Amino acid sequence: MPNAERYDAIVIGGGHNGLVNAGYLARAGLNTLVLERRHLVGGAAITEELIPGFKFTTFSYAISLMRPEIVQDLELVKHGMMVLPLINTFQPGLDGEYLFLGADSDANYHEIARISIEDAEASRDLDHLIARLARALKPWMDRIPPNSRSSDPADIAQLAELRDYMDGLDPEVRGLMQKFYDCSAAEILDEYFENDLVKSLYASSGIIGSKCGPRDKESGLVWLFHKMGDYDGEPGHWGFHKGGNGGFTQVLARALEAFGGSIRTHAGVERVLYEDGRAVGVSLADGSTIEADLVVSALDPRQTFTRLVDPADLPEDLVQHVSDYKFQGTAAKVNFALSGVPEFPGLEGREDLFMGFTNLGPSIDYLEEAFADCKAGRFSRRPFLDCCVQSTLDPDMSPPGKHIMSCFVMYAPYHLAESDWDSERENLGDTVQQTIEEFFPGFSDLILHREIVTPLDIEKIVGLSEGNIFAGELFESQLFLNRPAPGWNQYRTPIAGYYQCGSGTHPGGCVTGGPGKLAAEQILGDRSR
């Protein structure tokens, strides 16, 4: 590559994990370049002003399980990080009943007790036990996992340490963990609660972004995953960044540049270049090449192993695992610009209802019926919606007196059985709008603009295969020792100097920064040997 540019490290993809990874590499003194295909960094964590004055979190919309260590290490507060807590959850029913929960555990107890004293007692017990479990598992979520197929004494010792650690957990905590592995969310909830509205409040964490219903075994682990991590020291807490998730990724970009790193947009990478089994750089869509001894893919496993390199140069078992790796995107977004805040009958004028998450899915049966449509290859006719009127938290997201509303939609399968997304786009928007209208009469009269994001849009725009927001399902076969494949769960690839750091690696999806951080730890550790 005569006269090619040269860097110490190249990170492919400017999503939040790519930026976190690059930040750590630059902090360690490596001349680091992030290459982003689009016109802005952020990946799925972006904010766009699609109509004047209204700022939309087009895809991802919450700081979900961000690791506090990253905030400290990359000095993110100095660069403008400001997380606003999503402290409230509003769960309306179709019969006028509702639950409105916040940060006060005693107030939450009394709110649930309005419906069922027994469920209030059970919720207190279950919340406490889940928090204990989350704290117990956190040390292993936030470290490089052992390689179960390695003969290296260090990996063997680490596996033994893991077994001893799990065996030493409090029996009550270990028992709950086993339930999450063995049971569906619905089975666990049936054991604790009697009221449908209470059950559905908890069950939604078990289906978010995944192709499973609350009665599917996989929903237990998905639920547990969403309770791991934090941004403020409290397990399972979520937040909204000032300016949306695009505001957060811009903070990461500024931190990277402060450490001496560089970002280049409109720079799609076609191939990773390697010679004699070692990475030597990348070739770009414009035909240019850039040299580097270290290349990191922040893309998903399908992109990392089947597009950026030749699968023929990889071990057959790895290629097979990547081929079998389940993406199965089932999530869509519908974003609204509104002239006012929706109103729930009997609670008119309550903007505080929307200063957090609003879950539209009043029973386990409702969620199962929504999933049944998905299994049949059509989007849900009465979808589960996870909504947030973000302008109630951050007024700068919309003009004075106006609001934006972000709606996460389940279920919208990537593969439609009898149609296509170009044909169904507006039908999906109408269905979401009608569903919200059922819970909040008069909602449609508030709409100034709506934006519909299908799973196909997610794939085309931000490069997530099949529109899967987690870069792969959060199922047992694709977590921890198996993410993205057994033997390749430590961020390395079979090509020396070529690493992976996307959400398809441990610990997984959501805006955690964990994969980016841990991959950097592995890379820097390898360089020091």
pLDDT of residue 103: 86
pLDDT in tens, 402-434: 999 999 999 999 999 999 999 999 999 999 999
R_g of the chain computed on alpha carbons: 23
Residues 6+ apart with CB under 8 A from 57: 46, 47, 244, 245, 246, 335, 390, 406
The model's confidence at residue 232, banded by pLDDT at 50, 70 and 90, is: low
Measured CA to CA in angstroms, residue 249 lies from 189, 242, 318, 477 at distances of 36, 11, 32, 30
pLDDT score for 447 = 98
Architecture of domain 5-43+243-326+472-528: 3-Layer(bba) Sandwich (3.50)
Average pLDDT, integer, range 3-13: 92
- Average pLDDT value for residue range 123-150: 91
Q: Over the stretch 84-111, which tens digit does the pLDDT of each residue have? A: 988 899 999 999 999 999 989 999 999 9
Report the helix count and the strand count for the chain, using DSSP H and E.
16, 21
Note the pLDDT of residue 275. 97
Residue 18: phi and psi, rounded to 5, are -60, -40
Q: Which whole number is the average pLDDT over 344-353?
A: 92
Domains of the chain: which residue ranges? Answer: 5-43+243-326+472-528
Is the previous residue joined to 98 through a cis bond, with omega within 30 degrees of 0?
no
Instruction: Label residue 411 exposed, middle or buried (CB < 10 Å: 0-12, 13-18, 19+).
Output: buried
What would the two tokens of residue 293 be? 């001894």
Whether the Cβ atoms of residue 332 and residue 452 lie closer than 8 Å to each other: yes
Tell me the backbone φ, ψ of residue 124, rounded to 5 degrees.
-60, -45
What string of DSSP letters covers 61-83?
-SEES--HHHHHHTTTGGGT--E
| pLDDT band at residue 484 using 50, 70 and 90 as cut-offs | very high
Cα–Cα distance, 495 to 266 (Å, whole number) = 26
Note the pLDDT of residue 1.
Answer: 55
The confidence score (pLDDT) of residue 141 equals 87
pLDDT tens digits, one per residue of 55-80: 999 999 888 767 789 999 999 999 99
Average pLDDT of span 344-349: 93
> Residue 66: its pLDDT value, please?
75
Please report, to the nearest 10 degrees, the dihedral formed by the alpha carbons of residues 43, 46, 48, 54 taken in order: 160
pLDDT at 234 over 70: no
Query: What pLDDT shows up at residue 138?
Result: 85
pLDDT at res. 65: 65
pLDDT at 28 over 70: yes
211-226 mean pLDDT: 94
* pLDDT tens digits, one per residue of 273-306: 999 999 999 999 999 999 999 999 999 999 999 9
Contacts of 121 (CB under 8 A, 6+ apart): none
Q: What local confidence, expressed as pLDDT, does residue 231 receive? A: 54
Are 381 and 431 in contact by the 8 Å Cβ rule? The answer is yes
Mean pLDDT score, 188-199: 97
Q: Considering only 19-33, 60-74, 210-224, 330-344, which range has the smallest mean pLDDT?
A: 60-74
Adjacent-strand bridge partners of 386 = 359, 408
Q: Tell me what the mean pLDDT of segment 513-518 comes to.
A: 96
Give residue 228's pLDDT band: very low, low, confident or very high (50, 70, 90). confident
Name the token pair of 133.
């479990």
- Contact, 215 vs 200, CB < 8 A? no
Residue 100 CB neighbours (<10 A): 20
Predicted pLDDT of residue 169: 92
Confidence check: pLDDT of 373 > 90: yes
What pLDDT does residue 67 have? 79
Tokens 């949306």 locate to 244
Computed over every residue of the chain, the mean pLDDT equals: 94
* pLDDT for residue 419: 96
Q: Would you say residue 3 has pLDDT above 90?
A: no
